[in-house]
Structure 1
Amino acid sequence: MKKIVSLTLPFIIGFLTTSAHATENGGDSFALGAEGMMAGALPPPGVYLLNYYQNYHAGSFDNGPPNFHADVNALIPRLVWMTKQNYLGGQLGFYAAQPFVDLRLSAAGMSDSNSGLGDLIIGSMLGWHHGSHHWIGAVEGVLDTGKYDSATPAQPLVANIGKNYNTVRPIIAYTYAPQNGLDISTKLSYSFNTKNDDTQYKSGEYFAGDYSIGYKLNDHVKVAVEGYAFKQTESDEVNGDKIGMRGQVLAVGPAIQYQDKNWSLEAKYLKETNVENRPEGHTSYLKFVWAF
């Protein structure tokens, strides 16, 4: 049976108001919680199609606009190519993902909605295996290709799917999966953002990571407790001046996976807590993987 590939995938809400929040308007380009079980184990050479469906709902915004609500539905196909090439003892792979997003926002008596293509993600990675231990090192770029409109006095709330800035993100992931069925996995990243030239806003650098503690019940079914953490390490800047806003969030919830031959299906529900300067809500994922 082929191992199922896992790595990071982008999504998140984006909108514009006249207020400042940790990262621009509390959004980011990291798919918090998208990965979990076997996150550090890359598959054998071949081509793989990963399809993610995400629903995110937030009913409040810490230190943000009143009466805030956000509903996001995202479908994110991702193509992964694992080559036969090896560098530094690791297997070389490449990937690209293109989100399709439907976003509905309301805040402070205003509302807006939008749907279309989000920001394109491309990346390269190396994977290592040693017995029950698996590692991944990767670098990905999030390109400002998504649909974006500037806010105006007549329309101060804009449901933006694209971020209008680029991100470079180094990633490391690790999985410990012994024969007794245990699966302890984590994926850690650090994001560097460019400036949004339309707003002169530069979102601060941030750490983000997914985690999973799972157990294989039989040859097909695995259950886990999963979640994510986000912590902004650098203040945002407006016109080159630091404004001191930093965000954070933790999330936890159950997950289940069914795997059979060359495909798998995983579902999870994650609830956010310990939120600062960001939307607070819950997210659900369905992840389908097909190995050609």
Structure 2
Amino acid sequence: MNNKIWALMLLGVMATHVNATENGLDTFGLGAEGIAAGALPPAGVYLLNYYQNYHASEFKDGPDNFHADVNVYIPRLVWMTPQHIAGGQLGLYAAQPLVDLRLNVMGMSDSNSGLGDLIIGSMLGWHKGNHHSVAALEGVLATGDYEDANPQRPVVANLGKNYNTIRPIFAYSYLQPQGWEFSTKMSYSFNSENDDTNYQSGDYFAGDYAIGYQLNDQVKLALEGYVFKQTTDDEVNGVSIGNKGQALSFGPAIQYKRDNWSLEAKFLKETEVEHRPEGHSSTLKLVWAF
């Protein structure tokens, strides 16, 4: 999923561009997935509910006196069809982030609440014993609220990016029914240009991971986190400006499941950050099977 929340939809537009991807913004749901990330459910309709609070009080290699607080709720509707392609079960999904953002940069502040960028995708899932995998293709559409910065309003708390993203995804889970788990969800994002600013955010790799242990039928404990690494430079008016961002996070997680629902909670702390905000996030993920 796409939630730092739906994935650092947190940053507004600043008058100068000094960060990795435009304003340190990305749309991969950093840290949103973890336990059983590569194991798709049987045919049916599912509602995944993500809530995340992200707080950052520093922008690495960026502006001073930086502070951001963001709360995001992301409902994600998933339809696992009975159809199979290349041996994999076909699934379709859509997610619409609802964002509340409060931003302060160098003594200037702004806040905003509303809809973020719409996410749509399709996926195929395979199962073989304890091994589960997913291949998906996701699009992030520039539908969220956006306003370019100007001298009268140099800091804008934007909820959307004003550019589109295409993202291939691969996820894998090794699940022992009673015992250990290893899961990961990896993606590579290709960004279009922001036509209002002529800023081209660089492409980037992002991945979530989870190492867990099943205590009993209901409870699983895990170490979770994510990796973010920008692979190409940002550009302004076709001129490369560098600013390749990166981040690593880790923290504890717990999952509780019963019958047709499960609840996962985690706390993740960022480190090794470059050209991005550095902070921490708390996430709840509720999955409901209809």
Q: Same fold (TM over 0.5)?
A: yes
Structure 1, unaligned runs of 5 or more: 1-6
Q: Deviations over 1:224-243 (max 9, x none)?
A: 00000000000001001111
Identify the residue that residue 12 of structure 2 maps to in structure 1.
15
Residue of structure 1 in register with 2:91 after alignment: 93
SS in 1 for 2:38: coil
Secondary structure of the residue aligned to 2:71 is strand
Shift of 1:133: 0.1
| 2:188 aligned with 1:154 | no
SS in 2 for 1:243: strand
Residues 218-271 of structure 1 show CA distances to partners (whole Å, capped at 9, x for unaligned) of: 000000000000000000010011111100000000000000000001100000
Structure 2 matches for 1:207-218, cutoff 5 A?
Answer: 207-218=205-216
Where 2:213 maps in the other structure, the secondary structure is strand
Correspondent of 1:135 among 117, 130, 133: 133
Partner of 2:171: 173
Aligned equivalents of 1:36, 1:200: Cα separation in 2: 35
| Counterparts of residues 223-242 of structure 1 (less than 5 Å) | 223-242=221-240
- The 8 Å contact of residues 19 and 64 in structure 1, kept in 2 or not, is answered as no
Q: CA deviation at 1:8?
A: 4.7
Q: CA deviation at 1:11?
A: 3.0
Q: CA deviation at 1:56?
A: 0.1
For 2:97 and 2:20, the matched residues in 1 are separated by: 23
Code of the aligned partner of 1:17: M
Query: 2: distance between equivalents of 1:133 and 1:47?
Result: 23
Q: Which residue of 2 aligns with 1:38?
A: 36
Greater shift, 174-183 or 235-244, is seen at 174-183
CA distance in 2, matches of 1:254, 1:161: 28
**Structure 1 vs Structure 2 CA RMSD:** 0.8
Shift of 1:279: 0.2
- The equivalent of 2:181 in structure 1 is 183
Deviation at residue 178 of structure 1 after TM alignment: 2.0
Please give the secondary structure, in 2, of the residue aligned with 1:141: strand
TM (normalized to structure 1)? 0.97
| 2-structure distance, mates of 1:121, 1:263 | 23
Please give the alpha-carbon distance, in whole angstroms, between the structure 1 residues aligned to 2:81 and 2:263.
Answer: 24
Quote the residue 1:255 is aligned against: 253
| Structure 2 unmatched ranges of 5 or more | none
The residue type equivalent to 2:12 in the other structure is: F
- The percentage of counterpart residues that share the same residue type is 68
Count of residue pairs brought into register by the alignment: 286
For 2:39, what is the secondary structure of its paired residue? coil
Q: Any idea what SS the aligned residue of 2:29 has?
A: coil
